[in-house]
């Protein structure tokens, strides 16, 4: 019986998808207990050879989508998911062999949980990725959940909860659809963080991001804050702006034009995202 549905919205990647499927084929639980739903937005890349190969080992559904958008295509995957738990691995992440086993163990021990969050971790270097993840279990609240989530470590029992298609890559507000999803999940019951559930992803260096991607992250963050206009989101907004203002000044003092420009984009995009959402969506 399918217990977990893994929804992979993919675009522009081939080798990475193969690597992800390889990691899923190595799960310690019986492969019949989970399914992989690949929502394929490619027109130039043909994933058929990979999917054909791995379909011998995994239960895979291949959905072709002609419309780009991360949130939209995750929702397409949710529409056909059959597992009681849904997850959203990026097409360039990988699961450790025990990832799904630990997810199922958590829900067996915490049957009231509606959503589980794990950590992004590199076991080879024994280092956390993206942020310093807590090393103990925590119940998420509106005050701390922003620091406990990553889209690739969401394991949700809220099958009917959809992503906001105005947010995320390919949408007007190009990120933070995952933060929005987790914030809304808090309304339905206990959301737990467990460091025992780990997923791998390469580290992301903001200095290596394109200006377009930095701008998309900022606009999405601003929209997220405007949508969840609470004392917690306002505090996050002030903290983020304060950080980037300080870093912009520091970069300018050291004649780092690239750094100054990057932080300036981070500031203006956050403000414009918040203002735009309040004016057009609020």
pLDDT at 203: 80
Q: In whole angstroms, give the CA distance from residue 245 to residue 255.
A: 15
Query: Max alpha carbon distance in the chain (Å)?
Result: 60
Q: In whole angstroms, give the CA distance from residue 196 to residue 106.
A: 9
> Which stretches of the chain drop beneath a pLDDT of 50?
none
Give exposure, 191-213, as e/b (b: 16+ Cβ within 10 Å). bbbbbebbbbbeeeeeeeeeeee
Asked whether the beta carbons of 123 and 96 are under 8 A apart, the reply is yes
Q: H/E element holding 100?
A: helix 99-109
Domains of the chain, residue spans: 4-200, 206-280
Q: How many CA atoms lie within 13 A of 195 on its CB side?
A: 15
pLDDT at 209: 74
- State the CATH architecture for 4-200: Alpha-Beta Complex (3.90)
pLDDT at 210: 86
Report the SS3 class of residue 5. Answer: strand
Residues 6+ apart with CB under 8 A from 83: 2, 3, 4, 5, 34, 35
pLDDT at 207: 58
Give the tens place of pLDDT for each residue, 33-83.
999 999 999 999 999 999 999 999 999 999 999 999 999 999 999 999 999
Q: In whole angstroms, give the CA distance from residue 141 to residue 189.
A: 11
pLDDT at 206: 56
Q: In whole angstroms, give the CA distance from residue 154 to residue 89.
A: 8
pLDDT at 66: 94
Distance of CA 280 to the CA centre of its chain: 25
Q: In whole angstroms, give the CA distance from residue 277 to residue 269.
A: 12
Structure-block tokens of residue 186: 């808090």
Structure-block tokens of residue 274: 């918040």
């Amino acid at each position: 019986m399918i217990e977990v549905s893994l929804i992979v919205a993919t675009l522009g990647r081939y080798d990475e998808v193969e690597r992800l499927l390889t990691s899923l084929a190595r799960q310690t639980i019986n492969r019949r207990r989970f399914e992989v739903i690949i929502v394929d937005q490619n027109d130039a890349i043909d994933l058929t050879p990979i999917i054909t190969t791995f379909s011998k080992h995994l239960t895979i559904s291949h959905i072709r989508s002609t419309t780009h958008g991360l949130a939209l295509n995750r929702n397409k995957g949710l529409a056909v998911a059959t597992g009681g738990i849904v997850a959203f691995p990026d097409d360039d992440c990988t699961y450790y062999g025990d990832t799904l086993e630990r997810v199922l163990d958590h829900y067996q021990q915490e049957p009231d949980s509606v959503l589980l969050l794990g950590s992004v971790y590199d076991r080879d270097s024994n280092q956390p990725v993206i942020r310093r993840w807590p090393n103990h279990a925590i119940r998420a609240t509106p005050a701390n959940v922003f620091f406990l989530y990553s889209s690739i470590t969401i394991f949700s029992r809220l099958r009917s909860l959809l992503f906001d298609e105005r947010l995320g890559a390919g949408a007007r507000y190009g990120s933070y659809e995952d933060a929005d999803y987790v914030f809304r999940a808090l309304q339905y019951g206990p959301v737990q963080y467990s460091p025992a559930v780990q997923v791998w992803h390469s580290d992301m260096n903001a200095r290596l991001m394109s200006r377009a991607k930095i701008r998309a992250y900022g606009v999405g963050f601003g929209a997220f804050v405007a949508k969840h206009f609470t004392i917690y989101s306002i505090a996050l907004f002030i903290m983020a702006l304060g950080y980037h203002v300080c870093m912009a000044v520091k970069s300018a003092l050291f004649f780092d034009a690239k750094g100054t420009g990057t932080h300036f984009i981070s500031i203006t995009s956050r403000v414009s995202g918040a203002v735009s959402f309040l004016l057009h969506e609020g």
